[in-house]
Structure 1
């Protein structure tokens, strides 16, 4: 089993680019397609804690359901936010990547580079044609 996990939505261009960057590094992650297999409430809490961000930072504010449910209200508890994510997995922002070097929401896609336990990598061309150059800087 891989020591890298990506919480992935194959319909998301950023998520596809992050997966491609991980594979460009010669690594094969464990892929969690969270739209069909959502992480548990405890897993989501643990991801936020590991990334060092509040739970709210892992929500996708651009989704219509975010506005419809009034999730921008600062008075909402983490439990209320988790209830919403459990009912609407699309609210979980993506991709979230976990490696031995750390956990992060990888937006923009090149943010994954500092989590990869290899490198520096040769240039990579994202699906939109943008070339990503790896500085070799890693966490840890």
Structure 2
């Protein structure tokens, strides 16, 4: 088995998808969601009614555990954010620094089906909001 060759093939396939998404945006996301997950989506926003229905189908202990995990993840990532903008003077009038700020919106792929993990959503989305 040529794992190096397989890795190169996977990398090329992933790059093709990334390039396609860069060019076509949401249209590509919808295409690949249908291709890989067999799901046709019309909107990326989940209606409030669907969220409420999903909550009603999950045991309250699981919801509490997910909420606790979300709180812990949020606290951890908030602790990583510097309190203010910082920079250093590297010479010749150049300054380098960092400012952390939350993103207004993101796209996050969270697989569903038989291998769905709430932790994927939590660990992908919460840091972006912090």
Same fold by TM-score greater than 0.5: no
The structure with the greater share of residues assigned to strand is 1
Which has the greater radius of gyration?
Answer: 2
The structure with the greater share of residues assigned to helix is 2
**Structure 2-normalised TM-score?**
0.24
**Structure 1-normalised TM-score?**
0.23
More relative contact order in 1 or in 2 (CA 8 Å, sep 6+)? 1
